[in-house]
Amino acid sequence: MSTRIIALTLLGLVMGFIILMASVSFFVREPLPIVGANQTLLLHTVELTPQIRTSVAIDGGYRVDLTVEHSEAQDPQVVLRPVGGQAIMLDTGTDSSGAWSGSGQMTRPGRWELILTNGTEREIMPFIVRE
């Protein structure tokens, strides 16, 4: 009898652990993308139309290079900042295809926001920079 109680208790603990791990996907709906040194993160707008595609490339010294591909009718304003902080200065320009590009020095790892504004429309794209 005591062997059955021990076996049922262990079964209950194991099943509880499995259910707990499976339920994590219900709590984390849309995890933030994570980018580190020497990696590139591709983001695209959902709320702005037509869609704007961006590339965030970070080198080993945490210098960031942004490329923003947009239609000719759009003139997006781009701001890159840590969450709750001041925007970093970006050296900006356009390439031969008309895509906007900018580069600057990231100040710290953690949560960052890429803010695109086109006229009265605005979209904030959060991501995480890891060490």
Q: For residue 52, is pLDDT > 80?
A: yes
pTM of the entire predicted model? 0.76
In what helix (H) or strand (E) does residue 23 lie, and over which residues does it extend? helix 2-27
Confidence class of residue 109 from pLDDT cuts 50, 70 and 90?
very high
Fold of the CATH domain 34-129? Immunoglobulin-like (2.60.40)
Tokens (6 digits) for 50? 């037509």
What is the mean pLDDT of the segment spanning 25-44? 87
User: Do 71 and 53 touch, CB atoms closer than 8 A?
Assistant: no
Tokens (6 digits) for 34? 């994570």
What is the residue extent of each domain of the chain? 1-31, 34-129
